[in-house]
Amino acid sequence: MAILESCCFWKDVRSGSFACAIYTLVYFGFSTLMFLFYLLGEQEFLLGNRAHPTGESLLEKGDVTVVTVIFNVLLLFCSMLMVLSSVLLILGLQQSKRQLMLPWICFMLGDMLIECFHLVYLALSRRVNFDPIVGFIFTMDFFLLCLNLYCLLCVISQYQTFRSQRAELQQASSAASQPRS
């Protein structure tokens, strides 16, 4: 049985999964561009020509740390994979192929875990000055994580629906091929 029976404003999880695929395609497309521009500024550091990153952050006091650059590289990698897997998700939904949904599920889970670890790192590193702007950014990130979790549950529910439909078809075909006495 699927986790969700309906998703968002749609009556079924299939339509909601299409909406999740479009949302993640746009969101992670912009995220990819944002991380690319950020990491282009850190190109000298990433190539080993500079000892420390020179970028700035709204969240951290002073210059960013090496750990933050590593998180940004990981998030760029996840964002690019999410763009590709969003296209696969759309194809999987159109063709009713649940295998094409698995990359999206895995990469979304990975991105959410990296985001959570990054937030925990920022909170524990004592480099964050909690002013209204930082509080707003943390709040927005929390809501985006919740939205991504809801999308993940919606797509997993559609995956479960495809799986149960396939099991029913196999059961019906095996019952039809059984010799009658």
pTM: 0.82
Q: What pLDDT, on the 0 to 100 scale, is given for residue 120?
A: 87
Confidence of residue 66 (pLDDT cuts 50, 70, 90): confident
**Domain extent at residue 43:** 13-164
Q: Which residues of 103-127 are buried (b: 16+ CB within 10 A; e: fewer)?
A: bbbebbeebbeebeebbebbeeeeb
Question: For residue 91, is it within any domain?
Answer: yes
**Residue 62 pLDDT greater than 70, yes or no:** no
Question: For residue 107, is it within any domain?
Answer: yes
Question: For residue 173, is it within any domain?
Answer: no
Question: For residue 30, is it within any domain?
Answer: yes
Please name the residue that has the structure tokens 């006495």. Answer: 181
Give the number of domains in the chain: 1
Structure tokens at 41: 């500024």
Q: What pLDDT, on the 0 to 100 scale, is given for residue 126?
A: 74
CA–CA gap between residue 119 and residue 25 (Å, rounded): 23
Question: For residue 26, is it within any domain?
Answer: yes
Q: What pLDDT, on the 0 to 100 scale, is given for residue 163?
A: 83
Question: For residue 18, is it within any domain?
Answer: yes
| High-pLDDT (> 90) share of the chain, % | 44
Question: For residue 33, is it within any domain?
Answer: yes
Question: For residue 31, is it within any domain?
Answer: yes
- Per-residue model confidence as pLDDT tens digits over 88-129: 999 999 999 999 999 999 999 999 999 999 888 888 877 777
Structure tokens at 21: 């695929």
